[in-house]
Amino acid sequence: MAIYILEDNVFQCGYLLKTISNICDTLGFKSIDIQESSRPERVIQFCNSSSYEKNLYFLDLKIDGDETAGFKVAQKIRSIEPQAMIVFVTSYANLALLSYEYMISAFAYILKYDDEKDYFDKITSCISAYKKSTETNSIDEYFIFENKFTSIRFLFNDLLYVTSVSPHKLVLCTKSKEIYCYGSLKDIQNLNNRIIRCHQSYLINIQNVKKIDKSNRRLILENEIHIPISKKMYATVSESWKKYYDLHNSINEINKLEK
C-alpha cells in the first residue's frame, strides 16, 4: 500500500506530506509508503512500478501552468491501476466539474484554501477510507511474496501467471500490470495450491483459467492470454483445473441453497 503526492509548490507539498504522515501515524497506518514529486511523469512511473494493486493518490491539478495536468495524470493512473483511489487537492474550485468529463471517478476534491480543520478532516477521511478498503479482504485472499530483495502484495484473484525472465528474475503478470522481482518459480509455486506449474517456465493461477485449448495444448486465461502447457504436465494441469471448478461450482450451489 502506498500514497503518492503530485504537487509542484514546495511549501504546499511539504505541508501535505507532513499532514498525511501525521494522520497515518494517528490511524496506526505505519507501514505505508509515502512518496511525493512535482513531476507528472514521476508519479506515473511510481504507478507503473508499484507492487500494489490499489494505491492512494493526492494530485494537484495545475502543474507548470497546465490547469489540466492533474486530470491527465489521473487518466493514466486509472488505465494502469483501475482500483486506485484518486483525490484532487487544488486551489481551483471551478475545475471540479471537469473531473466528470475526464471520467476519472475521483474519490474527493479538496480545496487548498479550506480552513485548517476542514482540510485536515477531509484528508483524514480519504486516508481512513483507503485504510478500510485495504483491510476488507481476508489475508488469505492476498498474494504475498517476500524475500530479502522484495515485498509484494496484491489481491490473489488479480494474479494471472508468473514466468521467468532470467535464472533469478521473475515477472508476475496481473490483470492490470507486470511486476518484476527476484526469486524462483519454485518459491512462488509453494505459496498457494491454486498456483500450478503448467510448463518449465510458467506458473498460472488456476482460478483465472477460462478454458483449455486441447488441440494446441495451451491455457486461455482472463484477458485472452495464452499460456503453453508442456506435454509432461498436461494431465496434471487438466486434473487441477477440473477439481478447482468442480469445487467452485459446488460452493456456488451451496451458497444458492443457503440464500
Pairing mode of beta strands 85-90, 108-111: parallel
Work out the percent of the chain whose per-residue pLDDT is above 70: 88
pLDDT band at residue 98, thresholds of 50, 70 and 90? low
pLDDT band at residue 196, thresholds of 50, 70 and 90? very high
Q: For 64-217, where are the E strands, in sequence order? A: 85-90, 108-111, 142-146, 151-155, 159-166, 169-174, 178-182, 195-199, 202-205, 209-213
Residue with cell 441453497: 257
Stretch 14-42: mean pLDDT: 89
Give the model's pLDDT for residue 249.
56
Q: How many whole angstroms separate alpha carbon 190 and alpha carbon 185?
A: 9
DSSP state of 102: T
Put the strands of the sheet holding 159-166 in their side by side order: 178-182, 169-174, 159-166, 202-205, 195-199
What pLDDT, in 10s, does the model give residues 210-248?
Answer: 999 999 999 999 889 999 999 999 999 998 888 877 765
Dihedral angle computed from the Cα positions of residues 80, 82, 83 and 86, in that order, rounded to the nearest 10 degrees: 80
Stretch 136-140: mean pLDDT: 53
